[in-house]
Structure 1
Amino acid sequence: MIQHIPLEKILFIDIETVPNAASWEDLSETEQKLWDKKTKFQRKDEISPEDFYEKAGIMAEFGKIICISIGMLEKNETLKIKSFAGHDEKKILMEFGEIFNSPRLRDVILCAHNGKEFDFPWIARRFLINGIMPPTPFQMFGKKPWEIPHIDTMELWKFGDYKSYVSLELLAHVFGIPTPKDDIDGSMVSSIYYIEKDLTRIVDYCEKDVLTLANIFRRMRQEDLLQRNLNLD
């Protein structure tokens, strides 16, 4: 039961991603052809590869991470939050990877919303693309399902119903948690990054998602909401 999981062992995590290039025209001819092949069966006949490129931010082969926000519980029932963000993805990943050298994170359990389908594999793939070995919690090869230290709040909400999808925003609403989408939502991240060039706004949005994620997990355990505390060390 999730009530038996030590909360201090859980690392709540959320990432923000954007297309690797600002526009279709910025891709090389080879990349354009590969994008065309990659998305052929996802696009409807009337949608061109160029028009579909706005979806590149959700595919690890054509996108990049611009922010990773994490949170861990303190003894005083506040959530310490720290973000790794910038324009240099490799630097973000290297700094993020260093936290797993901490004794506190030796047996850490990762928690994300839709993490098993998005955050966890995305992070692992981008580590490899950048020539870095993914941290141990992201390495799944050879492990039995119960040996993988991952919690996915979307999976918990499904209760075995694999047809169901629920957003973080909707779960926050049904649990009476303040919405994390009070300023922007995921569909706006790319334009805010490339056009408005407002990374700070994106980081704040990502950190709100981490707090919301932690509070959704708390509600699933029938526990009180957490408060936010920045600068996790």
Structure 2
Amino acid sequence: MNPIHATRGYAGHHAQAAYSRWAPIYDLLFDLPFHPGRLAAAQAAAQAAGPGGEILVIGVGTGLELPLLPANVHATGIDISAPMLRAARTRVDRQGLSQVKGLHVMDAAALEFPDAAFDVALAPYVMSVVPDVARALDEAWRVLRAGGTLVVMNHFAADKGVRKAVEHRMETAAAWLGWHPNFPYSAIGDWIASRPDARISERRGLPPMKLFTLLRIEKVAAR
């Protein structure tokens, strides 16, 4: 077995196990503190998609973003965790979310959709979770139509100070947590810089305490 793929599989197994472990209490812990970021990301995705637009929600989890998307878009969610998706399906049924076309167990690094299938790919709080960030970004980009938008909402590690020290220490528990507290911006910034057809149209910090960053990345004609 290729050692890179073996490492990916090991990391993916731990991420999936952690996700399943968090599923029963995910909403309790991660709803209100993360709501401002989720709302901003959902609004950015809806604005970019427009009425009738197709939105892919990568790492949809229990579906907290889904009610924040307007009824005039078509949303498809994917997640690697079946327990998370069961909660998302319950949310869709309970709230009558007609904008949701489907929810699928799927690996963000191996999307089972054709090229150029979506107007927007929305990745909320997921890039510090996936084992292979570049591959997940490549896949999101592949399924985007020309002129489409990738919306990323994520935490990025601090460059200095107490927060940097805390994040560095927390990184030792990354496998158990299921995400990387010490996740560098370069993991996404370097990928953007390598793509001649990628352009950042928005970057802003969001509450609480600007711990999270919203990136809006446009898929433009190659320069």
TM-score of the two chains, using structure 1 as the length reference: 0.30
TM-score of the two chains, using structure 2 as the length reference: 0.30
Which structure has more RCO (C-alpha within 8 Å, separation ≥ 6)?
A: 1
Higher strand share: 2
